[in-house]
Amino acid sequence: MAASPLVRARGVVKRFGKNTVLDGVDLDVAKGEVVVIIGASGSGKTTLLRCINLLETYDEGSITVDGTEIGFRDGAGGGRRRRSERELAPIRADIGMVFQHFNLFPHLTAAQNVMLGLTKVRGMAKAEARKLAEQWLSRVGLAEKFESLPSQLSGGQQQRVGIARAVAMGPKVLLLDEITSALDPELVGEVLSVVQQLAREGMTMIVVTHEMTFARDVGSRVVFMDGGRIAAQGSPNDVLVNPTQERLKSFLARIEFRQH
Amino acid sequence: MIAATYAYIVTNFPFLWQGLVVTLQVSALVVAFSLAGGLALGVAIVYGPRILYWPIRAYSDVIRSIPLLVLIFFVYYGLPALQVQISAFWAAVLALSLFKTGHVIETVRGAIGSIPPGQNEAGKAIGLGFGQRLVYVIFPQALRRFLPPWLNAVTDTVKGSALVSLLGVVDLMQSIQQVIGRTYEPLPMYLYGAAIYFVINYTLSSLSRALEARFAYIRE
């Protein structure tokens, strides 16, 4: 009935040496869906996210975005070969990512941070890129900050530039990696409301977070990872409010405890 | 004595000038070659495949552990033994370039290595290719850390180029030696030479300080 999922992971395995971080992950994300991944640290949630735009390579299995296999291409002899940097660049351009530590380019202004990908990857003319960058920065509430360097911005403002930089590229899917964990508590709200707005507009997102209220409010689905596998998933209500699984219950209990 | 020295310098000025030109030529060539070589190998040692790491590491460590003078003699007297004929000028340039490349590799490695890995990842995430990430993301940030030690190395090159006089290349140092040979006035002539080296290198280090201040705004 539904069209094929925008992001599809099948049997994804990732090892760091002898340590298996992802142990056969299957995940489908439909267009317009907001999938929130929760789990203890070391559960593999960030690694899974980083595999989707191949900041981390995976060893087995398959991840496709809009039908394109991310990590591999078909080899000459029928097998598959890892994609080269050259093949990856245009694939990554269609997958947005926002980082825990913002990772803004410190030598560029807010506007230039957003423009870099537009001019160098999308091949836009400078004036056109400038206009789009200003549009996006205004939409995340930074109309006064086009010319500011990252060092002149607060954490919350930097992260909103980070979001503008990712969405201005017009990505098919947006990956958010604990984007509020490096922020002071009073700055979390301004960043999450931007994400909420994007969710309402139908942006497909995969979100790794520790903010359970946020997971409940914007998630169309919540996925609980444990030991490199998906241990439970379902509607925010099923997973967060009425959990049945023991590990999930104890994880949520610990989180709840911290939040009060 | 001062008047007499002044007269030597004036009469010998065209000859001394020619020596200065050679010193500047050697220095400029060495700076250019070592910058090109050191940049390529420095980038390769940080981002290159494992196979490249050890040969570059070995080259850099060995070359930086040999006295420059030994290297100069080795190239000048050693290459002809391998049937490679090379003039004293180019032997000097080659030896100095090999030496300086080792230092530039380390400077590049340190400067690039100081950029947080998140910068490279952010560049990847918006679809920049490897070369684009270097040019637009990594190098502009690494420049601030690269310039001071590199300009220091440039002044070292100018000073080190005096060693080429030992191969008979008529650079500033050698031309001074030869004027002394004719006039038997070593002290004033060495003072004159020291003054010229000082002017060149002091200008370079002032430039270095100015550039450092210019790029201080880049912070992580």
DSSP code string of B53-82: HHHHHHHHHHHHHS-HHHHHHHHHHHHHHT
Is A169 in contact with B127 (Cβ distance < 8 A)? Answer: yes
| Residue A1: band (very low, low, confident or very high) from pLDDT cuts 50, 70, 90 | very low
Report which of A129, A168, A164, A120 is spatially closest to residue A143, judged by C-alpha positions: A164
Mean pLDDT of A108-136: 97
* Domain spans in chain B, listed from the N-terminal domain onward: 2-215
Q: Which residues of B touch A95 (CB under 8 A)?
A: 125
Which pLDDT value is given to residue A236? 93
Query: Using CA atoms, how far apart are residues A37 and A44, in angstroms rounded to an integer?
Result: 10
* Cross-chain CB nearest to A103 (options B121, B132, B141): B121
Per residue in A21-61, pLDDT (tens digit) is 999 999 999 999 999 999 998 899 999 999 999 999 999 99
- The distance of B120 to chain A (nearest Cα, Å) reads 9
Q: Do B125 and A116 touch (CB under 8 A)?
A: no
Please tell me which residue, B69 or B5, carries the higher pLDDT value.
B69
CB contact under 8 A, A53 and B125: yes
What pLDDT was estimated at residue A260?
Answer: 44
Coil, helix or strand at residue A252:
helix
- Pick the range with the lowest mean pLDDT from A130-144, A151-165, B55-69, B203-217: B203-217
Nearest neighbour of B218 by CB, restricted to A95, A99, A107: A107
ipTM: 0.92
Residue B155's SS3 state is helix
Instruction: State the pLDDT confidence band at B170, using cuts at 50, 70 and 90.
Output: confident
The predicted-structure confidence for B81-115, as pLDDT tens digits, reads as follows: 888 888 999 999 999 999 999 999 999 999 999 99
Per-residue pLDDT averaged across A143-170, rounded? 96
SS3 A63: strand
Q: What percent of chain A has pLDDT over 70?
A: 97
Do the Cβ atoms of A121 and B127 come within 8 Å? yes
Which residues, including other chains, have CB under 8 Å from residue B216's CB and lie 6 or more apart? Answer: B144
Chain-chain contact of B128 with A120 (C-beta, under 8 angstroms): yes
pLDDT at residue B12, as a whole number: 80
Q: How far apart are CA B115 and CA B212, in angstroms?
A: 17
Most confident of A174-183, A208-217, B187-196: A174-183
pLDDT at residue B220 greater than cutoff 60: no
The shortest CB-CB distance from A105 to any of B122, B124, B127 is to B122
Q: Structure pTM?
A: 0.86
Token reading at A69: 């296999």
Task: Say whether A107 and B140 touch across the interface (CB within 8 A).
Answer: yes
Q: What is the CATH number of domain B2-215?
A: 1.10.3720.10
pLDDT at B3: 72
CB contact under 8 A, A103 and B119: yes
Of A103, A149, A151, the CB nearest to B122: A103
Nearest residue on chain B to A167, alpha-carbon basis: B126
CA distance A191 to A189: 5
Residue of higher predicted confidence among B153 and B121: B121
Positive/negative CA dihedral, B131, B136, B141, B146: positive
